[in-house]
Amino acid sequence: SYVLTQPPSVSVAPGQTARITCGGNNIGSKSVHWYQQKPGQAPVLVVYDDSDRPSGIPERFSGSNSGNTATLTISRVEAGDEADYYCQVWDSSSDHPGVFGGGTKLTVL
């Protein structure tokens, strides 16, 4: 089955840029979606189809996807961005197609 690999943690100072990676075999051929989850809350979709943002998500959140790595970029990081972030793809070739990465804890220093 398809595997997505994320770093367990990323740390960044306020105002700087955070980059969270999601690795997978030829992930560039798939649509990647990103979710933010704060403690005790349900996940929220922040980027879909590699680089699109749902309404209400700040422009500071952006995404890219090429080759074997997708990246969520958060510019001008704020304290309120501290959360767990998950990447996700739909592996249409599988009979169990829903796949999440293991998650990355973003810490704002």
DSSP assignment of 13-53 equals: -TTS-EEEEEE-TTGGGS--EEEEE-TTS--EEEEBTTTB-
Which residue shows structure tokens 């997708």? 70
Binding mask 76-95 for other proteins (x = CB under 8 A): --------x-x-x-x-x--x
If binding is defined by CB under 8 A, does position 3 make contact with other proteins? no
Closest distance of CB 33 from other proteins, Å:
4
Which CB sits closer to other proteins, 28 or 102?
102
If binding is defined by CB under 8 A, does position 59 make contact with other proteins? no
If binding is defined by CB under 8 A, does position 67 make contact with other proteins? no
Contacts of 99 (CB under 8 A, 6+ apart): 1, 2, 3, 4, 88, 89, 90, 91
Contacts of 76 (CB under 8 A, 6+ apart): 15, 16, 17, 60
Which CB sits closer to other proteins, 23 or 48?
48
Contacting residues toward other proteins, per CB under 8 A:
1, 30-31, 33, 35, 37, 42-45, 48-49, 54, 84, 86, 88, 90, 92, 95-103
